[in-house]
Amino acid sequence: MSVKILDGKAAAEKVLAGVAERANALTARGLTPGLATVLVGEDPASHVYVGQKIKKCQAAGMVSVHVPLPATITQDALLAEIHRLNRDPRVHGIIVQLPLPKHLNAEAVLLVLDPAKDADGLHPSNQGRWMQMKSWKDVLASGVALPCTPAGVMELLRQNDIPIAWRRAVVVGRSSLVGKPLAMMLLAADATVTVAHSRTEKLDDICRQADILVAAIGSPKFVKKEWIKRGAVVVDVGMNRTAEGLFGDVDFAGAQDVAGAITPVPGGVGPMTVALLLQNTVQAAEKQLL
């Protein structure tokens, strides 16, 4: 059986092309969408991620407002920066790159963010709004900012014509960033969803039941070939940097032998996250002109 590679780079470029078209239309009406990136400290990986977001933002014809802050910044000073960006008319979307230094409370930072400028789609008010909706169609039509990585997974499945309704989905991982919201999105799209995690009993047996298997547990090569149902769609959200290189949460080499479709790492879900971030931002700018 030949496995289909779900190309996140190609899918993300389609999303970004739409973002650029919408951004240009807004600029023609006198409003250029702006994304603020807040980076605290000197974490090398965070610098790379923020740099990618700035580059894609500028390529789409959007304004990039970068706010580098020292690792020693106090909680109050960081909150003051967020309040300032909330008031900045150039800014329609704000992201605070995680993780933050240990002395800072990320949840408190998220709560002071203006929900209308929530480019990451992680503010509780936005999460609460779309999770109350019955169908995925309603969620998309609502215009609520969605968590970028889970929404990117849903868009990647859509572009590859992978059916979700009436299928069994297993999400391995229960984080508020990926696992929980993605499970709710799949449920809204009429999948039957199981959420599993590292402490789930007989995890391998549960994974083998999945038509769509999502690995978002943060452990390199955690999901083995033997855990995958033949022909299943495997979505690897993991991004684990090790001494041997960059690996996902799935043993990709083995999984290719049994999966019907699979996302690579890198080049799978990662590019979709950035694309949906910019889509959230241009959508927020469009709302200002309604």
Show which residues are catalytic. Answer: 53, 97, 120
Instruction: Answer left, alpha or beta for residue 222, where phi above 0 means left and psi between -120 and 50 means alpha.
Output: alpha
Q: Would the CA dihedral through 67, 44, 51, 92 be positive or negative?
A: negative
Question: By the 8 A CB rule, do 28 and 289 touch?
Answer: no
CA–CA–CA angle 268, 148, 142 (5° rounding): 130
**Cβ–Cβ < 8 Å for 247, 221:** yes
| Rounded-to-integer distance, Cα 53 and Cα 117, Å | 16
Structure tokens that stand for 81 in this block: 């920066």
Burial class (CB in 10 A: 0-12, 13-18, 19+), 237: buried
Q: Is-contact 88 64, C-beta < 8 A?
A: no
* Lookup: tokens for 156: 């990647």
What's the rounded Cα separation, in Å, for the pair 262 and 250?
10
Q: Strands 245-247, 240-242: parallel, antiparallel or unpaired by DSSP?
A: antiparallel
Are the beta carbons of 97 and 37 closer than 8 angstroms? yes
First vs last C-alpha separation in the chain: 50
If 0-12 CB within 10 Å is exposed, 13-18 middle and 19+ buried, where does residue 238 land?
A: buried
